[in-house]
Amino acid sequence: MLNDLKFIADGSCSVATDQGQAYYEERYRQRVLHKLLRKAQRLGMALVPVTPDSATA
């Protein structure tokens, strides 16, 4: 029954698989970083990676 509904919804017979919590957290982190990069560029700035040494200085 659920497969029938999925087929109707997207026109395919694929079954959704759970990628896991880590996958979704990584995708969220990538989206947030990409948004920050775009915002920084729009403001004429750039994001600079922080190394463990420079984080405490």
pLDDT per residue as tens digits for the range 35-52: 999 999 999 999 998 888
Tokens of 16: 């959704």
Q: What one-letter code names the amino acid at 41?
A: Q
pLDDT score of 56? 67
In a domain, 36, yes or no: yes
Main-chain dihedrals φ then ψ at residue 18, nearest 5 degrees: -80, 120
Q: What is the pTM of this model?
A: 0.56
Q: Domain range holding 40? A: 19-46
pLDDT in tens, 13-25: 556 667 888 999 9
User: Number of structural domains, the chain?
Assistant: 1
- Inform me whether the pLDDT recorded for 34 exceeds 60: yes
Contacts of 14 (CB under 8 A, 6+ apart): 6
Question: 18 is written with which tokens?
Answer: 């759970």
Domain-embedded: residue 28: yes
**Distance, CA of 36 to CA of 38 (rounded, Å):** 5
